[in-house]
Chain A
C-alpha cells in the first residue's frame, strides 16, 4: 500500500515519515524561523522556472457553454438561432459573433468542434473533464490540475503550485487522493489578496512572533510528547511564512499592472482572474483555473450569452496576446472549456439544454498548433461528423504537450493503481 505522505511540499526532507512514531531524533537546537531565507528560495528566477517547465491555465465555463454561440456557429441552419458567424484572423475559420477579440487571436488557437462524451449531468461531467474519470465512491480521483502540479511543480516553490480563481466549487477539481499538497489554493476574488495571506502585523513583528513560537515549541511540546508533531508543524509554518513573506506573493496584487492592460483583460472578476493567472504563471505556478459562471443557459440564451461573452472574450484573447508578448505562450497551455455543450434545438424558453454528444473546446499555446479547427459536427449540430475527441483523448494529448507520461500510475489509498489518463488516443493534429 503506497501511502504517500503529503505534507505541503515539506516531505520532511526525505525522512518520509512512513510512521510518525519512527521518529526519535533530537530537535534542531534552534528553529530560527526568523532567518527564513526566502531569498534562497528566490535563487531560481521566474525565467529559470519557466524554462524548466510547462504551465497550464484552464478557463472554466461552468454550466456548459453552447457550442453554437461560441466556436461552432451554424448560421445557415435553424438550430443556429440566428447567431452570426464572424471571420477570424485565419481565413476560412469562423466563430460566433460576440467573440471578436478571440477571433483576432485565432492564429494561436485550435478549436476542437468534435468533443463528445456521455455525461450530461453537471456534476459528473465536470468531474469527468477535470479528472478524466467518472466519479465513484471508492476513490477520489486527483484532478488533472493537481496531477500537473505533482508532475511539473518545483519542489521548494514558495507559492502554491495550483491555484483556483473564483468562488465556485467545482466537482473533481481537487487533489483527490494525492493529498493536501496538491489541493488548489483558492482565490475567491482576484481583486483582493487571498484570505489571510497578508499579515496584520508588520513583518518585523511577524518574524519575531514566528521566532518565539519556534523557541517555545522547542522548549515545551517538542520535549515531551510532540517532537514529531512540532517538527512537521514547524516545516509547514516555515513554508507558509515563506509564502507570506515571499516577494512572489505580490503576484496576487493586480495593482502592479498598468491600467490599460487591466482594461484590456476586462474589468470584471473573470478578466482580472485571467490577468492574475498570467502573473502567477510568470512567478512559476504550474496550474491555474479561472472560473466563469452562468453558462447553463436553459432560458434566454441570447442575452445571457452576449453578457458572458463580453466578459470572457477580452479575458481569453488578452491572455493569449499577453502571454505571447512575454514569450510565455509556448510554455503555457491555455484551455477554454466547460463540462458539455448544449442542445441543437432551441427550447421554448429560448434556451438550450445539456448536450454532451457534441461540444467544443479551444486551446492555445503550450505545444498546441494554433490556427486550426479539429473535427466537425453535422449541419444541424446534432452529431460529430469527423474526428471525435473524447475527454480521455483530450487529456492524453495535453499530457503529450506538457511532457507528462499519461501512463504513470498513482496508487490510491485502497492500493489501486490509477493512470494519469486511462485510455484515450493522441489527437496528433493538435500538436505543434
Chain B
C-alpha cells in the first residue's frame, strides 16, 4: 500500500549534486588553451563545448536529410574527433567522408547481429518442464540434515503466526485483525496453501519484491545522479515483470544486454547504476545474478579465492563499449533529460597493468565459470559481447544462476540460508545444507525459473511454517536452522505497516498543517509521471522517512542494526505521537469505544491490530498494572499503543 499513492524514492540525496553536474564542465589545460585561442579571435564567443554541440547539431541536420537515423549518426559522431567534426562542416568532401563513416557504423552493427546468431548456435537451448519437486521433498531433505546434526525441529507455528509471517514475506504487510480471525476460523485443511497462493498471485507480491530487488541494485550503485539511475523506474520495471511472473533468466538477460533510454527500456538501469563502466558492471552482474564476488579480483589475483585478475578482466570485457548518455539532446531542460545506455559499434577492453601503468593490456571476453567459452575476438561487437555473456550467466548450464536466487529467497523466507552473506557463494565458498539448495535450484532451473513457483513451494514447506526460535541456538555455520529465524523488516514495510496500523501516514514530521498544500504537492508529483523527485514538503518527508529506515537487503540480518534516527523517529515523531492519541476518529478511540470499559478486550484489540496476535498473560498483567498506575484510561492506552509501535517485534518478521 503505497503512501499517498507513491512509493518512497531513495534518490533524493543526489538531486542537489545532480544540478551541479548538469551545470558544470570540467576544464583541462588543453581545453583552456583551445578556449583561450578562440577567445583571442572572437572575444566573448561561446565556449568550445558549446560550439561543438552546435556543430554536432548541424551535422545531425545534414545527415538526417539523407535519411540516416539519429542513433547511427550519434554513434558516428562519437567516433570522430572534434577537429574532424569542424572539418566536416567546412567542406563538402569532408561531409561525404563523414557520411561514409556513418554507413560503416551501420554496416558494423548489421554484421554484429549476424555473428551473434552464429555464436549462440552452440549454446544449449532453454528447456522447460513442470517441476516435480514438492514441498514435502524439501522437508524430507531438511529432516535428514537436521537428524545428522542432532537438531530438534521447532513445532509448526500457529495459524496467526503463520499468517503474519507469510503476509509480511509475500506482500510486506501484516494481516488485519479481520484477516487473522477469518483465517483462524477456517476449517479448510488447505487454507495455508490457499493463503500462500493468493498472496503470491496478488499485485502486492510483485510490488514488495520489486522494492527488494530495486534496493539490492540501488545500494551498490556507483552512479550518484538521480536522473541517470532512476530507482523508481527500475522498481516499476521489476514490478511489471514479477506481476507477469516473467522467468528470472529472461529478466536477467534483458538487464544484462539492455541498451536504449531508460524510458524505452528500463532494463538498462542495472548498467546505468554502474555508470556503464565495464569493470563495475561486470562485478555487479556477477554478484546479483550468480552470487559470485569476482570483482575482488579486479586489481590483483584474489587472495583467498581461485579467481585471477585475468579472469575478471576477461569477464569485464563482455561489458565494455557501452556508455551512459543523455538521450534527449542538449536542447531539453535539465529536468526533462532522459538518460540511457548506448553501445558503440566496436569495443576493446583495455586496462592499465597495475604493475606498470604505462602498459595497456587488452582482454578478449571470456566466461570464468564452466569448462569452455566461446572465443570472442578482442574487438568483438558490443552487442555480441553482452548477448554472449547473458547466454552464460542466465543459463541452465550455469548452476550458480539458480543457486544465487534460491539462496536469497530462502534467506528472506527463513531468516537463515545456505550461503552467507546471501550474495557471496560460488565454488570457493563453504555453504551448509547444500543438498537442499541443490535440489531446489535444480528443480527451479528445470522449471524455467518460475519465480512464483519457487516462493509458493518454499512457503508450503513445514520448514517454512515452523515456529521461530530466539536466536535459534541450533543454527550455526554448519547446521540448518530447525526453526524460522526472525529478521528485520525493510523500510518500505515498516512505513506501510505504520500506516496500516494507525490509519495515518507516518512520515516523522508534523502532521501537514496545510493538508490542501500537501495534496497539491502529491498531485504535482503524480502529474510529473515518475515521481523522482517527489515534489514539495510531503514528498521530501516520504524520502526522508524511507531513508531513515532503509538498509541494503544483501546485508546479513545480524549486521542490520537499528540507528538513533530510527529510534528518534519512532519515539518522538509528532505525527506518530498524534496518531496514537485517543482522539475523535482515531484508531485507538474506536478500539476503546468498542470495548466500552473492558480493558482486557481493548488490550486484545490493540495487540491484534499492531502485532497481529493476542497478548500473553504476562503482557496482560504488565498492561493492566500500568493502566492502574497511570489512572487515566485514555492516556494509559495511548502509552501502550506507543509502546507496541516502538517494540522490536513491530519491526520484525517472526
Seen from chain A, the residues whose Cβ lies within 8 Å of a Cβ on chain B are 3, 5-8, 10, 17, 19-24, 62-63, 120-123, 126, 135-138, 160, 168-169, 171, 179-181, 183, 185-186, 195-201, 205-206, 208-209, 212-213, 215-217, 219-230, 232-234, 236-237, 239-241, 243-244, 293, 296, 298, 343-345, 347-348, 353-355, 357, 382, 413-416
Contact = CB atoms under 8 A, between A and B. Distances in A.
Given A7-B561, A196-B572, 19 more contacts: A10-B561, A122-B24, A123-B17, A123-B225, A136-B222, A136-B280, A195-B544, A197-B572, A217-B648, A226-B470, A232-B648, A234-B648, A240-B564, A240-B571, A243-B568, A244-B571, A293-B16, A343-B32, A415-B296
Given A185-B564, A196-B508, A169 B17 contact: yes
Given A138-B296, A237-B567, A171 B224 contact: yes
Contacts of A215: 622, 626
Interface of B: 12-17, 20-21, 23-29, 32, 35-36, 39, 44-47, 220-222, 224-225, 274, 277, 280, 283-284, 293, 295-296, 298, 303-304, 416, 421, 467-473, 475-477, 481, 483, 485-486, 488, 508-509, 544, 556-559, 561-569, 571-574, 577, 615-616, 618-619, 621-623, 626, 630, 635, 639-640, 642-644, 646-649, 651-652, 654
Contacts of A24: 470-471, 473
A196 B26 contact: no
A297 to B, nearest CB: 10
A220 B44 CA distance: 75
A166 to B, nearest CB: 10
B607 to A, nearest CB: 9
Contacts of A416: 296
Contact of A137 (B284, B562, B647, B649): B284
B545 to A, nearest CB: 10
A168 B16 contact: yes
The 10 closest A-B pairs by CB, nearest first: A169-B13, A233-B648, A219-B618, A240-B567, A225-B468, A120-B26, A227-B470, A213-B643, A196-B568, A221-B649
Nearest to B295: A138
B558 A20 contact: yes
Given A123-B224, A198-B572, A227-B471, A216 B558 contact: no
Nearest to A415: B304
A243 B564 contact: yes
Given A208-B630, A226-B648, A348 B47 contact: yes
Contact of B574 (A200, A220, A227, A382): A200
Contacts of B485: 21
Contact of B563 (A3, A180, A199, A354): A180
Main secondary structure of the interface of A (DSSP, over half): loop
A357 B28 CA distance: 9
A217 B647 contact: yes
A213 B220 contact: no
A234 B36 CA distance: 64
Contacts of B469: 225
Nearest to A19: B558
B1 to A, nearest CB: 24
11 contacts: A5-B558, A21-B416, A23-B470, A137-B280, A138-B296, A169-B15, A183-B563, A216-B619, A237-B571, A353-B26, A382-B29
A208 B627 CA distance: 12
Nearest to A167: B16
Contacts of B467: 225
Given A8-B562, A24-B470, A236-B567, A212 B647 contact: no
Nearest to A349: B47
Nearest to B298: A138
B334 to A, nearest CB: 14
A62 B481 CA distance: 50
A228 B295 CA distance: 34
A216 B564 contact: no
Given A21-B485, A196-B568, A221-B647, A212 B561 contact: no
A224 B44 contact: no
Contact of B470 (A62, A126, A224): A224
Given A123-B224, A138-B295, A169-B14, A355 B558 contact: no
Nearest to B275: A137
